[in-house]
Every structure is written in C-alpha cells, then in structure tokens.
A and B are shown apart, each in its own frame.
Chain A
Amino acid sequence: MNPPVPLSSLAPGAKAVVTGIQVPVEHRARFLEMGLLVGTPVELIRFAPLGDPIEIRVRGYNLSLRKHEADQIQVRPA
C-alpha cells in the first residue's frame, strides 16, 4: 500500500483515495458537503495555467480548489 501524500502532490491523471482532511474546521464542512470525504476516490485532472488552483474529479464531477487546501488533504495514491 502506498503511503498517504498531499492531494496537491499528485501528477495530472493520477488517481487516489482520500485518507484525511485537515482543512481548518470553519471551512471543512463545505469540502465534505461537496463530496470530498475520507474514503472518496479522486483523480487529479490538471493544474491551472498559472500553477494554482488545481482541478480534480470527485464523485463524477469536476471541482477546483487551491493548492493551499489541497496540501491539507491527504490521499493514498492508487
């Protein structure tokens, strides 16, 4: 099994499963409500042209978040 890494460290096209969300509590609920939970499979689609934010695929739709938050989301690469 691969060790967990930050979501932001994935390469475009890489798939992984969320293992932890350490986003500050006041913002965490919205990430969860958007379907990003522990155990959820994600795929990193691309980085924006200026390097930030990133685009991921989660539960069948595309979501964009900043590297800053993606750093705080741990994933286990598939």
Chain B
Amino acid sequence: MSASPFTVVLTGNPNCGKTTLFNALTGLRARVGNYAGVTVERKEGALRGADPQYPVTLLDLPGTYSLSPQSLDEQIARDVLFRRLADVPEPALVIVVLDASNLQRNLYYATQVIELGHPTLIALNMVDVAEANGHQLDIDGLSKALGVPVLPLVASEGTGVAALKQILQQRAREAAAGSTDPSGSAYQARSFAELPEVFGREAQGISARLQSLYPHRQRLADAEALLLLSDDRVFNSHRDLYPADLLEAVQAARKRLESAGVDWRSAAIEARYARVFAIAQHVTVETAQFGETFSDRMDRILTHRVWGLLIFVGIMALMFQTLFSFARIPMDALQAVVDHTAALVAELMGPGDLQSLLTGGVIKGVGAVVVFLPQICLLFLFIALLEDTGYMARAAFLMDRLMSRVGLHGKSFIPMLSSFACAIPGIMATRTIESSKDRLVTILVAPLMSCSARLPVYTVLIAACIPQRRIWGFLGLPGLTLLAMYLLGIVGALGMAWLFKKTLLKGEPPPLILELPPYKRPVVTVVLRHMWDRSKLFLHRAGTVILGINILLWFLVTYPRNEELQAKYDRQLLALSNSPIPPGPEGNIPESIMGIRQAAVQREMAGALLRDSFAGRVGRFVEPVLRPLGFDWKIGIGIVASFAAREVFVSTMSLVYNLGELDTHDAAAQSSLAETLKGERDEQNQTVFTPLKGVTLMVFYVFALQCVSTVAIVRRETNSWKWPLFQLVYMTALAWVLAFITYQGGRLLGWG
C-alpha cells in the first residue's frame, strides 16, 4: 500500500539558493502551476529516488523576507505556512533554507517560521561562501539555539543533498508508520522575540482568542497573535479574514501599548533581531578578517559610473540583437514545419470547408503562436541568466533613477524590457513588485512597448508606404521609421505611467528596498528549468486563446457564403477552362497561362466573398469611425481582426487584397504584399497607402491594445475584468486620438 505523499515545504529568503536545492531534490520532474485565483508560480515536485512506498512531495514557496507580506509572492508563502489555502495540504515538514553567508537577516525569517510550530528543519546553504568570507559556523550550536535540526550544505554543488534526501525519506517512513505525532502534542512552543512584558501580555490575550476561534490552528496562535499586533497592514488586507470583534481587540491592545510607551510596530522586530544577533555572534567564528569579496570587485565595474552604464547598454543591445536576428533561424524553421503540415493536410483532405478550417484556422492559427516559441524561450533564457547570476538586481539599481522620474521603481524596468518581446511575460514579471499600485501601473503600460507581434505589421507597412531614401547619407528612412515607432512606444509607456501615477493610482512613490545579492555562477539546470517552465506556460495559454480566436475568425471571413457570387465565379472559372488558349510564343506554355488566369479569378472571388462575409460587414460597419484616420473598410477588417492578435493584420490584409492567404513571417511574401499595397488605388484612383496613411496606421498599432492573450493575462493577474477592460479602452482611445492627430495634422501640413 502506498501512503499519501509526505508534504515538504521549502521556504526562505530570496537569493538563499532555495530553488537550486529544490531542483537538486526533485530533478527535472517538477510541475509548475498556479495557486488558485492568482498567478504566483506554484512549484511542486516529487523527491527524486524516493521509495515508491513512501512518496515525498516538495513544494517550493516564493522567496520571502518576512511573514508580514509586502508582495503577492510573500503573501502566498505566508498563507501556505498558515494553512490558509484549501488546495495546499498541511506541511508535514518545513525546510527553511538559510544563506549561511547572510546569517542575520536569514535567521530573522527562519525564527519566525520556527515559531509557527510545524516540524521544521534548517538547510544551511552556501556554507562554502560563508567560509570563503571568513565565517566558520558552529552547526551544533546553531541547532541548539534554534531547537531544530540544522543540516549544512552547498546546494549548487550537491554537497549535503544526499543526506537531506535520507532525512526526508526517513521522516516519510516514520510518518507512515505513525511513529511521529502529526498533531504535534510533542510540540514545544518556542519564541525568539523577548518582548516587553506588557507586549507579551497583550499578545497572549490575542492568542487565546485565536485559539478559541480556530481550534485547528492552535499551534499557530502565538505567532499569529504577534503578527496581528505588529503588522500595520493587517487591517487593510485582512478585513474579511478575521471577525470584527477580534480586530477590535487588536486595535484596543495597540492603544494600550501606545499609552504604555511601547511601539507595537517595531517592538517585536527589534526583540527578534536582538536575539538573532546574539545567536549569530554565538555560532560564528571569524577565521579571517572581512575583505573585499568577488562580488565587491565585480560591482566596482558593473555599477561603475561609466563602465557600468556602458556594459548595461551592451547587454541590452546583445539581448535585442539575439531576439530579433538569431531567433529568426529556429522561427523560420518552425514556420516551414507549420506550412508543410498545412499543405500536407490540405492534400490529404481535398478542398472543402473542413479542410479550410483545419489548415487556415487551426494549423496556421496555432502555428502563428508556436513560431514565437524560440523568441520567447530566448527571452526567458536571458532573464533567467540575469536573475540567477544576480545581475538583474543591478539592472534595477542602475535604472531606478530613470524609472523614478515617472513615479515607478527600478523593479518595473525588467517587466517593461521583457514587453519588447511580448507583453505576457512582461506582465508576469511584475509579481515581484511590492506595491500593488506600482504593479498595476506597470501592467497597464507594459503593452505599449512595441512587442514582437507588431514587427510584421511595421515591416509590411514600411515596405509599402515609406520611400527608400537616405538621410545624411547613411541613415535609411525605413529603418528610422521603425526606430521611431519603438521610441514612440517607450515615450507613450513612460508618459502614461506618469499620468496614472499622478491621477488614477495616485500615491507616494513606495520606497525602494532592493537587495543586491552576491554574484554567482548560474546553475545550468536552474536556468534551463526556469526558461522552459515559463515558456511552457506561455505556449499553453496563448495557444488555447489564439486557437479559439482563429477558429472564430475563420468563420467570420468564410460565412455567410454568398451562393450567387460563388456561382458567378464558378461559371467564370468553368468558361476559362473551356476556352481555347492561344499557344505561347514557344507554343509550349498554355497551361501556365491558364493557371495564372484561374488564379486571378480565384483571387477576385476571394475578395468579393470577403466583402460580403461577416468580417466584411464588420469592416464596413466600423468604417465611419476609421474614416477620420484615413482608413477604409478593408483596413477596418484588418484592424478589427488584429484585436485578436496584431500579426493577424498582415494575413488579413493579404486576404482582403486578393493575394490569397499569406503567411506573416515569410519575407518574400511580405514584400509582395507590400507591392500590392503600394499599387492599391481607391475609387478616385488615388494611392491608398500613402506615407502619411502608413505612418498613421503604424501609430495606431503602437498604441492600440490588440491582443486577446494580453487581455486574458491581465484579467488573471489583476483578478478582475475591470483593469483589462480599462486598459483596452484607454489604449484604443489613445491609439485613435493619436492616429487622428497624425493623419489630420499631416494633411494640414500638406503631406497627405
């Protein structure tokens, strides 16, 4: 009989090597999901090499500085340890991972967790770094002082991991045999904060109330009471978690403490640090004088006034270069696979509606997402590398000044940077921002950064509308236009962030409290796992949404079918195939002429049918709104269709302008679409795609929120429809107004 898994929770400060240890314990089989209702990553895995009779499940909690949470990540960690989450089983063992080279602050959190009364074990990580810094630690002394077992290890090299695995296995076996008492009657209350007497009395009073309110959380009551009394935020964030009379009792207790001259906000923290300092002094033997570490030397260059900034710009440039050029190779290969699959399916099935749906809607639709995978993987590889080496914190340190100008944090920089590839990972990267207002502002402006899906749109429009001219002899006008669009997005994002911070999400800029962890060699498995886990989530989420939209879009451009029109063109085609073809000059190419003529009729038919389809009707319906921007109903279809995903614009335009369905990533196809657009004339025989209209259209694409996946992810991250809808409205309104100004302004200046 196999027992239900023995649940082990891993927790600790950020940068303590917790994830490295988790990977060493679980191998590559961990699952990454989300906690119910929020998108905080939930990492779970089975202990590698465990006895199948006594399985062990490990849960890796987000890095946390304290049990008084400041960010969403920290809140989840706290809630798991407090057993507040219904979908997380009670931890049978809590492993607190400690960074031995940063003992005091790590112990602050560890003692908080030990007080919760779960069976606890300390994994003292990075003992090698501590020794290199001249600190020898007394393991037994630490274990005695904390009252829990302490296991020294170096997770990045695997030292001590085997011993830890053995302990876990042993504990699982004992638990299954019932030799340990999970209800914890053997539990000894421990407290690491020697409180002023009056504070202790008040804490006990609250604890007694908690015990009678939540009998199943008896052990937690003392620790919970202390947090309730000390945490300023409890009343804002937990109003619905506790009954009103308990909160009133807490309020009254605070009043009494104040009149007794005790600062309830800081007393517990100060008492705990006093104890932690004493423990750290007691167990540390200084073997060498503290000198300059490797990180100190690195930082002298990497945060240098000149070199630091230059290297930063260099790293960013390398990242973009890689994303835009190197990623093309696997992307083109994937595109070829998608096209071949579509062709194969088309051949096997023969013509018909189902075939058209499968090839055009499903295969090419899903393919449009899959081809972005290499770019997304590379982006996440970069981010994982920057994070795991410790450089990410330096990027925030360098950029904080610029971001603070618009009222944001250095921590908002990375999400915005990621959004150049795709707003989805960018928005997911906002979870580490403590202030919910700042996080929201970052989410609201992140999609203004020109993402990779806009690139095909820019490329086609620039090729169709912008003359090949050089400025100052060496700068090409097309390249400058592209750069201008990217800059416009950046300026727009920063401007809107500033505006939101001034109006809607007003508030004092929250303080920056940013740890600059020591640099370290990245651990390959950690980096690759990070990359793959996040890429997988992206693929899954975007794939499901885009698939649905593509199927819908296919219906909209295909139905209702105008049988009369269809019959008319069928007759034409028939007549064409029956009409005699004059022999060519060589007398041997009539078939190709026939093919060209047939293709021409087919293209015309596709256009006429589209005009009459639901999509065509939608395009003509929105035309009045788009007229002031200089767009007609055909462009209207493209704009409406690309509210699903921007790159759909290119394939829709090719449909609309009778080119047959085009793939958006093929450079040759794009340039031929551009040629068609160039030659397009309206009823007055005027060129449709003038430079002014091209720029207007691009301006619209810079600002409009045209991405169903982004709307979906914002809905998840903010847990409401309010913000994604607001974002959709404000960005689209902004796009319309700025496109209007561009077009009408340009006409006034006589450019139209």
The answer to whether B270 has its CB under 8 Å from any CB of chain A is yes
* Residue A34 interfacial (CB < 8 Å): yes
Per-position contact with B for A58-70: 1 when CB-CB < 8 Å, else 0? 0111111110110
> Please, how many angstroms separate the alpha-carbon atoms of A7 and B70 in the complex?
24
Any chain A CB within 8 A of the CB of B105? yes
Bound complex: CA A43 to CA B512 (Å) = 18
Residues on B with C-beta less than 8 A from A78 are none
For residue B369, give the distance in angstroms from its CB to the closest CB of chain A.
Answer: 38
Q: Could you tell me if B511 and A59 are in contact, using CB atoms closer than 8 angstroms?
A: no
A65 surroundings in chain B (CB, below 8 A): 511-514
In the complex, chain A residues whose CB is within 8 Å of the CB of B402: 50
Q: What is the minimal beta-carbon distance from A1 to any residue of chain B, in angstroms?
A: 22
- In the assembled complex, which residues on chain B have CB atoms less than 8 Å from the CB atom of A69? 511-512
Contacts A25-B232, A49-B308 given: A32-B512 contact, CB under 8 Å? Answer: no
Annotate A6-28 by CB proximity to B: 1 below 8 A, 0 otherwise.
Answer: 00000000000000000111111
Contact A53 to B397, CB < 8 A, known contacts A27-B510, A63-B516 = yes
- The interface centre, meaning the residue of A24, A32, A69 with most chain B CB atoms within 10 A of its CB, is A32
What residues of B have a CB within 8 angstroms of the CB of A38 in the complex? 270
Interface pair A64/B512, CB less than 8 Å apart = yes
Please give, as numbers and ranges, the residues of chain B lying within 8 Å of A3 by CB-CB distance. Answer: none
> Which one of B101, B269, B306 contacts A29 once the chains associate, using CB atoms below 8 Å?
B269
Chain A nearest Cβ from B78, distance in angstroms = 13
Task: Let me know if A34 and B401 touch, CB within 8 A.
Answer: no
Cβ 8 A contact of B304, one of A27, A34, A49: A49
**Which residues, 185 to 222 on B, are CB-close (under 8 Å) to A?**
none
Task: List, in ascending order, chain A residues with CB within 8 A of B309's CB.
Answer: 49
Compute how far the CA of A24 lies from the CA of B512 in the bound complex, rounded to whole angstroms. 13
* Docked CA distance A2–B309 (Å): 36
| A33: chain B residues within 8 A (beta carbon) | 65-66, 68, 108, 269
Residues of A within 8 A of B434 (CB): 30
Contacts of B404 in A (CB 8 A): 52, 66
B661 near A: Cβ within 8 Å? no
Inter-chain contact B511/A66, CB cutoff 8 Å: yes
**Cβ A53 vs Cβ B232 within 8 A:** no
Contact of A53 among B306, B401, B510 (CB under 8 A): B401
What CA separation (Å) do A70 and B612 show in the bound complex? 66
Chain B nearest CB, measured from A47 CB (Å): 9
**A60 and B514 contact, CB distance less than 8 A:** no
Is A50's CB under 8 angstroms from B105's CB?
A: no
| B266 A29 Cβ-Cβ under 8 A | yes
Interface size on B, residues (CB 8 A): 46
Contacts of B230 in A (CB 8 A): 29
Q: Looking at the assembled complex, report how far the CB atom of B509 sits from the nearest CB atom of chain A, in whole angstroms.
A: 8
A48 touching B401 by the CB < 8 A rule? yes
Annotate B71-105 by CB proximity to A: 1 below 8 A, 0 otherwise: 00000000000000000000000000000011111
Tell me which of B66, B305, B397 contacts A64 (CB under 8 A).
B397
Asked whether B533 is an interface residue with its Cβ less than 8 Å from the other chain, the reply is: no
Cβ of B306: which chain A residues have Cβ within 8 Å of it?
Answer: 49
Nearest CB on B from A33, distance (A)? 5
Q: How far is the CA of A32 from the CA of B265 in the complex (A)?
A: 10
Q: CA A52 – CA B303 in complex, angstroms?
A: 12
CB distance from B81 to the nearest CB of A (A): 16
Q: Check: A37 CB closer than 8 A to any chain B CB.
A: yes
When each residue 379-422 of chain B gets 1 if its CB lies under 8 Å from chain A and 0 otherwise, what string results? 00000000000000100011011101000001000000000000
Residues of B within 8 A of A60 (CB): 101-104
Q: Which residues on the B side are within 8 Å of A55 (C-beta)?
A: 299, 303, 397, 516
Which residues of chain B are within 8 angstroms of A52 by Cβ–Cβ distance? 400-401, 404
Which of A23, A52, A53 has most B Cβ within 10 Å? A53
B residues near A59, Cβ cutoff 8 Å: 102, 104-105
Question: Bound complex: CA of A38 vs CA of B263, how far in Å?
Answer: 13
Contacting A at CB under 8 A, from B28-72, are: 65-66, 68, 70
Q: B532 within 8 Å of A by Cβ?
A: no
B232 touches A26 (CB 8 A): yes
User: Which of A24, A38, A48 counts the most chain B CB atoms within 10 A?
Assistant: A48
What is the chain A residue whose CB lies nearest that of B230?
A29
B273 interface hit (Cβ, 8 Å): yes
Question: Are A32 and B305 closer than 8 Å at their CB atoms?
Answer: no
B508 on the interface (CB 8 Å rule)? yes
Evaluate contact between B105 and A35: CB separation under 8 angstroms: yes
CB distance from B292 to the nearest CB of A (A): 11
A29-B231, A35-B108, A49-B305 known; A62 vs B516 contact (CB < 8 Å): yes
Residues of A with C-beta under 8 A to B398: 48-50
Check B174 for interface membership: any CB of A closer than 8 A. no
Are B265 and A53 closer than 8 Å at their CB atoms? no
Say whether B410 contacts A53, CB under 8 Å: yes
Judging by beta carbons under 8 Å apart, are A29 and B65 in contact? no
| Chain A residues positioned under 8 Å from B103 (CB to CB) | 60
For B401, list chain A residues within 8 Å (CB). 48, 50-53
Docked pose: A26 CA to B103 CA in angstroms? 26
Q: Are B68 and A63 in contact (CB under 8 A)?
A: no
Is the pair B513, A61 in contact by a Cβ cutoff of 8 Å? no
As a 0/1 sequence over residues 502 to 533 of chain B, the CB contacts with chain A under 8 angstroms (1 = contact) are: 00000011111111110000000000000000
Minimum CB–CB distance for B71 against chain A, Å: 10
**What chain B residues lie within 8 Å of A32 (beta carbons)?**
266, 269-270, 273
Cβ distance A62 to chain B, nearest Cβ, rounded Å: 4
Contact B70 A30 (CB under 8 A): yes
Tell me which residues across on chain B come within 8 A of A37, comparing CB atoms.
266, 269-270, 273
B265-289 CB mask vs A (1 if < 8 Å, else 0) is 1100110010000000000000000
Residue of B nearest to A61 (CB): B102
Q: A25-B265, A32-B270, A66-B404 are in contact. Are A48 and B303 (CB under 8 A)?
A: yes
Q: How far is the CB of B406 from chain A (nearest CB, A)?
A: 14
Distance A16 CA – B457 CA, assembled complex (angstroms): 57
Give the Cβ gap from A27 to chain B, nearest Cβ, in Å.
Answer: 5
C-alpha gap A28/B68 in the complex (Å): 12
The complex places the Cα of A49 from the Cα of B513 at a distance, in Å, of 18
- Give complex CA distance A65, B68 in Å: 20
- Expressed in whole angstroms, the Cα–Cα distance for A60 and B134 within the complex equals 12
Query: When chains A and B are docked, how far (Å) is the Cα of A25 from the Cα of B269?
Result: 14
Q: Which residues of chain A are within 8 angstroms of B303 by Cβ–Cβ distance?
A: 46, 48-49, 55
Residue of B whose beta carbon sits closest to that of A70: B511
Q: How far is the CB of B234 from chain A (nearest CB, A)?
A: 11
Q: Is the CB of B104 within 8 A of A35?
A: yes
Report which residue of B102, B309, B401, B402 has the largest number of chain A beta carbons within 10 angstroms of its beta carbon: B401
Question: Which B294-324 residues have C-beta < 8 A from chain A?
Answer: 295, 299, 303-306, 308-309
Q: Are A63 and B273 in contact (CB under 8 A)?
A: no
Q: Inside 8 A of B102's CB, which chain A residues have their CB?
A: 59-61
Give, as a whole number of angstroms, the nearest-CB distance from B475 to chain A: 28
Known: A53-B512, A66-B400. 11 other contacts (CB 8 A): A23-B511, A29-B68, A34-B105, A48-B401, A49-B304, A60-B104, A61-B105, A62-B299, A62-B516, A62-B517, A64-B513
Can you report 25 A-B residue pairs in the complex whose CB atoms are below 8 A from each other? A25-B265, A27-B510, A29-B230, A29-B266, A29-B269, A32-B270, A33-B66, A33-B68, A34-B65, A35-B273, A37-B270, A38-B270, A46-B303, A48-B397, A49-B308, A49-B309, A51-B401, A53-B401, A53-B410, A55-B303, A59-B104, A62-B517, A63-B514, A64-B512, A65-B513
> Top 8 A-B pairs ranked by shortest CB distance?
A50-B401, A62-B516, A64-B514, A59-B104, A32-B269, A61-B102, A33-B66, A49-B305
